[in-house]
Amino acid sequence: MNEITIGTTLQVYDSIEELSTDIKDLMNKAIEARENAYAPYSKFNVGAALQLDNNEVIIGSNQENASYPSGLCAERTAIYYSGAKYPKAKILKMAISASSQNQVTDKPIPPCGSCRQAIAEYEIKQKQPIEIYFMGAKGKVVKSESLANLLPLLFDNSVL
Ligand code: THU
């Protein structure tokens, strides 16, 4: 038996003010997108903004449904729209901000497992890492150099 250890290195910024201007702008678009979340059931609003290599920015927010599993997270709303609208564009960066309607969300909220798997597909497709930045409504911002960093042992199409 051999044991393997899997580790990830992330960068943590004290606040949005510590980010470079381009990332700060992208995060502000994610924060703005959060306002368009349709979250009457969870009361948890999430916004995502993608910077593409064609200079376009795509935004998304979570869209819920009375039949709960039919809703979709902000990250997948954004990444699927990006794939549908600009199939040839590469996604360079993704910014995510989440905010509860019930309490102050002051810690970074990472994308859920399903969103990580969905984002991984596009990272593999474009053969280029996607930088991921995530935060709550305020406070620290976490940066991951790639999606793969957030999803060790990811499932990909090499085995199909
Ligand atoms: N949600 C997202 O939009 N992204 C995530 O990564 C985690 C969860 C949404 C889904 C649902 O509308 C609400 O947050 C509560 O789970």
**75 is known as an active-site residue:** yes
Mean pLDDT of successive 10-residue segments in the chain (160 residues)? 95 98 98 98 98 98 98 98 98 98 97 98 97 98 98 94
CA of 67 to the centre of ligand 1 (A): 15
Q: 131 to each of 11, 23, 87, 142, 153, how far by Cα in Å? A: 11, 10, 19, 11, 18
- pLDDT in the model for residue 67: 98
Q: Say which of 17, 18, 32, 75 is annotated catalytic.
A: 75
Instruction: Concatenate the DSSP letters of all residues of 71-124 into one string.
Output: -B-HHHHHHHHHHHH-TTPPEEEEEEEEEESSS---S--PPPHHHHHHHHHHHH
- For the CA of 48, the closest atom of ligand 1 is 3
